Amino acid sequence: MNRSRLESLIREVADFPRPGIQFKDITPVLQDPEGFQFLVAEMSDQLKSFGKIEKLVAVESRGFILASALAVRNHLSLALVRKPGKLPWKHITESYELEYGQGELSMHVDAVRENEKLVIVDDLLATGGTLEASAKLCEKLGGEVIGLQVFIELSALGGRERLGAYSLSSLFKI
C-alpha cells in the first residue's frame, strides 16, 4: 500500500448532501483492510509532530472511527464531540457555520481536564467550522488544543486559514 493507492480509495459523490457539494466518501478506505491499516499508520506517524499528547478528541461521526483507531494504536484516551441531542449527561454546546448551513456541537463537561494537551481528529477539513467549534469546546473546558489532524483537506475552501491559530496536519490536500 502507498499514498497514491490510498487516495484512489476515496470516492467522490456529487451533490451530496446538497447540490453543488462534492462529498469525499471514505467508506471504501474503511472497507479495505490494508488501506485502513495504512491510513492509521500514516496518521499515527503524523501525530508525533504534535509532541506530548494526553488525549484525542473525536468529531462525530467519521472522526470517531479514525480517532478511535489512533487512540488504541497510540495508547491515548478519547473524548467525543457530538451533534445535538446525542449526549445523555451535562454538556456544553458551540454553534458554527457549515459549508452548507448551520451546525451545533456538544461535549460532556467532564470530557477534558484543565490544561490537558489535546489533538482533535476528523476525517475532513472543508471551511473549518466544525474543527473551530470543536477547539472552542475543548478550550471552554480548560483543555489545550495542541493540534488538529484530518485525513483529507479541501484546500480551496480556506479551512486552514480559518484555523491559523492551530497546528494542522492533513494526510491529503485536495
| Encoded amino acid at 159, one letter | G
pLDDT level of residue 21 (50, 70, 90 thresholds): confident
62 catalytic per annotation: yes
* Domains of the chain by start residue, with CATH: 51-173 (3.40.50.2020)
Interatomic CA distance for residues 19 and 51, integer angstroms: 40
Q: Can you read off the three cell numbers belonging to residue 49?
A: 509532530
Angle at 170 between CA 43 and CA 100, to 5 degrees: 125
Q: What is the DSSP letter of 20?
A: T
pLDDT value of residue 101: 72
Which residue among the candidates 62, 82, 132, 160 is catalytic per the annotation? 62
99 catalytic per annotation: yes
pTM: 0.96
pLDDT level of residue 99 (50, 70, 90 thresholds): low
pLDDT level of residue 97 (50, 70, 90 thresholds): confident
Which residue among the candidates 7, 97, 99, 139 is catalytic per the annotation? 99
Q: What is the mean pLDDT of the chain?
A: 96
Interatomic CA distance for residues 113 and 141, integer angstroms: 7
